[in-house]
């Protein structure tokens, strides 16, 4: 039984389709004091696969409730698919007295599930914070599907950490070079600076590939630099299109040709589904 969190309804539906599993219809309510109430009607069978991106604090609370609710509804075998794991970038204590937030969240989720599936967590190491078995899935390959026909393409990561997924997208696309920028972020202001690599970009189509577009600072900086250097078209591709605040506006101002994201976070630019990759992982 696929059990969708309210933030992952499209992905959960696509996953139910891919796997041929039935889908539960949870209800979501909110009390006058702001507390949430996610409930799951009783269902046949003892297996439940919850699919819930934790892209907000409310989504984390809802996920914990869904885990408890499926047990109440009869499940004895619970899998928790977290298509986008929020707080994964707080994977260490960055200052005196600061929490390792990813660990706190992982521990909480571990109490209500038999296993966890994560899609492109910010750092692979966050999987170790869970107290139950974790499978990490790389969905970057699906980003090649919606790309237009590209001229002499370059698949570029905005930092070395994203170089592997840029290569994954290039391999799935079937042609092109890969490279990465050097990136520096000012922790106080959040401002990002990227240093261009040596790869020539003039008159080429460039796909900038990252795991996430959050504030859009990294991506818009990269897009701007590439346009200044004469790239033909610059496409922004990411697994997790968080697109917080004015990220889209910043990308448009930098001259992005299009934004391509998956449905691990459901946004207007979620033009491709991670469901086929997740279905393989759940087999």
Q: Catalytic residue numbers?
A: 183
Q: Which residues pair with 185 in a beta bridge?
A: 192
For residues 208-247, which are near ligand R5P according to CB under 6 A? 210-219
Q: Pick from 69, 118, 137, 192 the residue near ligand R5P by CB under 6 A.
A: 192
Asked if 162 touches ligand R5P (CB under 6 A), the answer is yes
Helices (H), the chain: 9-19, 57-72, 101-110, 163-173, 217-228, 247-253, 275-282
For residues 72-101, which are near ligand R5P according to CB under 6 A? 89
Spatial separation of the C-alpha atoms in residues 173 and 170, rounded to whole Å: 5
Binding segment toward ligand R5P, per CB under 6 A, in 3-11, 19-27, 154-162, 194-202: 154-162
Closest approach, Cβ 161 to ligand R5P, in A, equals: 5
Binding-residue total with ligand R5P (CB under 6 A) = 16
**Sign of the Cα pseudo-torsion (31, 37, 51, 105, in order):** positive
CB-wise, 23 or 101, nearer to ligand R5P?
101
9 sits in which H/E element: helix 9-19
CB-wise, 80 or 218, nearer to ligand R5P?
218
Residues 207, 211, 212: CA angle, nearest 5 degrees: 100
Spatial separation of the C-alpha atoms in residues 134 and 103, rounded to whole Å: 14
Q: Pick from 146, 161, 255, 276 the residue near ligand R5P by CB under 6 A.
A: 161
Binding segment toward ligand R5P, per CB under 6 A, in 10-18, 27-35, 153-161, 194-202: 153-161
Q: Are 162 and 209 in contact (CB under 8 A)?
A: yes
Binding site residues, ligand R5P, CB under 6 A? 89, 158-159, 161-162, 192, 210-219
């Amino acid at each position: 039984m696929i059990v969708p969190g309210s933030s992952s309804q499209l992905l959960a539906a696509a996953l139910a389709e891919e796997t041929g599993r039935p889908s539960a219809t949870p209800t979501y309510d909110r009390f006058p004091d702001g507390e949430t109430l996610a409930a799951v009607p009783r269902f046949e069978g003892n297996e439940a696969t919850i699919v819930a991106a934790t892209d907000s604090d409310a989504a984390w609370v809802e996920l914990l409730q869904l885990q408890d609710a499926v047990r109440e509804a009869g499940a004895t075998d619970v899998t928790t698919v977290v298509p986008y794991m929020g707080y994964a970038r707080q994977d260490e204590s960055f200052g005196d007295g600061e929490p390792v937030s990813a660990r706190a969240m992982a521990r909480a989720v571990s109490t209500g599930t038999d296993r966890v599936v994560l899609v492109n967590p910010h750092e692979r190491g966050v999987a170790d914070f869970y107290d139950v078995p974790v499978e990490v899935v790389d969905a970057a390959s699906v980003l090649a599907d919606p790309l237009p026909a590209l001229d002499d393409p370059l698949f570029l990561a905005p930092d070395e950490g994203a170089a592997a997924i840029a290569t994954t997208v290039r391999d799935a696309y079937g042609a092109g070079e890969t490279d990465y920028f050097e990136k520096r972020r000012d922790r106080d202001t959040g401002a990002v600076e990227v240093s261009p690599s040596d790869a020539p970009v003039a008159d080429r189509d460039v796909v900038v590939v990252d795991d996430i577009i959050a504030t859009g600072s990294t991506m818009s900086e990269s897009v701007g630099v590439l346009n200044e250097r004469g790239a033909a078209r610059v496409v922004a591709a990411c697994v997790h299109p968080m697109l917080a605040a004015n990220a889209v506006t910043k990308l448009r101002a930098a001259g992005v040709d299009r934004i391509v994201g998956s449905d691990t976070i459901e946004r207007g630019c979620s033009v491709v589904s991670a469901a086929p990759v997740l279905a393989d992982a759940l087999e």
